[in-house]
Amino acid sequence: MPTKFDIQVVLNDWLASCTRHNKISKNTIALGIVLLDKLRANSPASEQDIFSKGGEVKGVRSGLAAVLEKYGIPRNFLKEATARQVNQDGRNLMIRLDYGRKLDRDQSARDQQLQNGIDLLVLQAQDWLARQPIKISCDRQLSPSAWIADILGKARGKSGGRVEQHLVGAKLKKRHPQIEVPNYPGHAADAQTKRSGDFPLGKISYHVTATDGKEAIPRCKENAETGIHPVLLVPKQNVQKALWRAEAEGVSGRISILAIEDFITQNIIELSTERHSDFFTTLQGIIEEYNRRLEEVETDMSLKIEIQ
């Protein structure tokens, strides 16, 4: 007697095959839900029913949010799932399901199988959404620099530079409330948004990176050549490497390279002095602005900062 097809076993094997660096991308989770939803509407399907000539899942750009919301996942979970690797993951899933041919022939039973599969992926999405924020405990006897270093240390390897970017954005906004400080998602490349840096403010363009500036320095060089002064902000441990890279590019004298920790610490000291407040109260204001900016453009709420 043949073994009954278990879609949850197939999906778990598929998710395991899509796990990279011990993580499953939310893009992969979202695309899996979209594909199973497509099979609920039309199964079995053909490759042409699911994929465009370019290899993308049809309708995933315009219809993703609606499908996610249909299954109780907030629209801000993901704006689109169109990365090349993700589409390969999607094709892999369709092959494992033989485009729905491995599912039960009875429509009601087949729909229940697909719903069971979607439920499994929804749980994955909910687990992702429930990830804990970055928690820091500020010892009042330590300096603001130590607090910022603690935040960056806990974000290292987790945020892809987004924590650093939004911290600097929050700092700039608190320091210059009268100026409009741009707020872009961390994955938005400068070329895509036609901007000179992460925070172009008049004749100054701030570039923020969690690395040593390898990717940012060529853009800083372009700034300098067009009359815009570039400020490159990197973690303190990468300042010397960034200086070497700028020297190798022949622009060391035209770029201001600063440690993120020092840049934000100076802001905390200045604001505290001006407002006759303590350092901790000032930090709280920056973190509140950081969380607000994060919620505005990002989907990974585990990057929010919680002061204990």
| Per-domain residue ranges of the chain | 7-129, 134-307
Residue 250 has pLDDT above 70, yes or no: yes
Residue 3 has pLDDT above 60, yes or no: no
Residue 283 has pLDDT above 60, yes or no: yes
Which segments of the chain are extended strands (E)? 134-136, 199-201, 204-208, 229-234, 256-259, 305-307
- Predicted pLDDT at 277: 95
- Predicted pLDDT at 178: 95
What pLDDT digit, counting tens, does each position of 36-87 carry?
999 999 999 999 999 988 888 887 777 888 898 899 888 767 766 656 678 8
Q: Average per-residue pLDDT in the chain? A: 89
Residues whose CB is less than 8 angstroms from the CB of residue 93 and which lie 6 or more positions away in sequence, other chains included: 11, 14, 32, 35
Beta carbons within 10 angstroms of residue 270's beta carbon: 12
- Predicted pLDDT at 56: 86
- Predicted pLDDT at 58: 87
> Which residue, among 238, 262, 241, 264, has the nearest Cα to 252 in the 3D structure?
241
- Predicted pLDDT at 2: 47
Residue 152 has pLDDT above 60, yes or no: yes
The whole-model pTM stands at: 0.64
- β-sheet bridge partners, residue 305: 134
- Predicted pLDDT at 301: 83
100 contacts 45 by C-beta, under 8 angstroms:
yes
Distance of CA 145 to the CA centre of its chain: 25
Residue 96 has pLDDT above 60, yes or no: yes
- β-sheet bridge partners, residue 93: none
- Predicted pLDDT at 190: 44
What pLDDT digit, counting tens, does each position of 179-210 carry?
999 999 876 544 444 566 899 999 999 999 99
The percent of residues above 70 in pLDDT, for the chain, comes to 93
CA-angle at 297, arms to 264 and 208, nearest 5°:
35
Residue 248 has pLDDT above 50, yes or no: yes
Average pLDDT over residues 117-138: 87
Residue 24 has pLDDT above 70, yes or no: yes
